[in-house]
Structure 1
Amino acid sequence: MNTKIKLTAEESSTIDAAFKREFYPKGTTLTDPGNRSQKVHFIEKGMIRTFYNKDGKDITHFFFDENTFTMSLESIYFNKTDPYGREVLEETTLRTIQFREFETLFNEIDAFKRFAFMASVETIKQFSDKLFSLQFQTAEQRYKSMTENYSNILLRVPLGHIASYLGITQQTLSVIRAQK
């Protein structure tokens, strides 16, 4: 976690000790939709997707890869069940902490606070980009934007998940990709 911020040796040690390192194989479901998880996950290595179920279909909501946090905002901040599940898409190493402990680190270590804030801003920007693309872009434009801005995801994620993330069918995605 010391890649974007400058920590003292003591701060680094405190943060390292607070986060538990966990290893998950591809295909592991960390949480199902409807969970009330209070955990914060920092992805050290690997890829996770958030998903929900609608009318019996599994829909990809978002992808998280290295150096990003994922947590259940609904459970942690609003005391509601989380509509999203989390699935490991490739062998993944997580650093996990309970939110109350995360909040303590956040309040005690200014550099960690800056890091968490910047990680949050980056994620908000990605959600904003996705919302814009769904509202104002064609399927072809959404795919092109993804290839330009998130090419690493295209190489690491099954096409079915990419199609549902883009809000299109896998058949439509195949047609778009064939035109290139």
Structure 2
Amino acid sequence: MTDEEIQEQIEEVRLRLLEAIEELPDEALTRPGAIQDWSVRDFLFLMSAWEAELVTGLMQVKQGKKPQRLLDALANRDAYNQARLAENPERDLDLVFDDLQQAQVALEGWLTEFSQQELNKPSRYKWLGDRSLAQIIADASYAYEAAFLPAIEQYADAWLAMSDMVTLDAIDILDFGDEANDNDTTG
């Protein structure tokens, strides 16, 4: 894959995510349970953390250094996610969206620093084992994000369907009993 093709994948998956949640109110975005115990906000925060980690890892690779923290994170995603959420359990929703955008822009900028051979040759970077840099990028960004999209889309659809339903509690019941007697025209 070229850096442009990777960027396209990142943008396509992100667009699908943002379209899925665009009509959700803040309450739906911050309520736990969208993906297991996570809220949508938690997931967006984690995706920005993964992309920021990936940017740091790409910077290290470009300097000829092993991206140990990124590799450790990929080896134990659950521990990485728990640690990131523990650092910022109630991050402001607007800041989460800002971070998500900034991390994506930074990632796309760093992708242009690598040639197609650097991205795709599995033996290019010994620390990656038999995986190419493009595979690592996918695993930490768009492929990881895409794996959660069905759950987020289902959550968003369910939330919107529930909000479209009208309950009896939301309807004012008018009592015409007394007014009907007061307007008696029979004399």
Normalised by the shorter chain, which TM-score bucket? under 0.3
Question: Which structure is higher in helix share?
Answer: 2
The structure with higher relative contact order (CA 8 Å, sep 6+) is 2
Q: Normalised by the size of structure 2, how large is the TM-score?
A: 0.25
Structure with higher Rg: it is 2
Question: Which structure is higher in strand share?
Answer: 1
Q: Normalised by the size of structure 1, how large is the TM-score?
A: 0.26
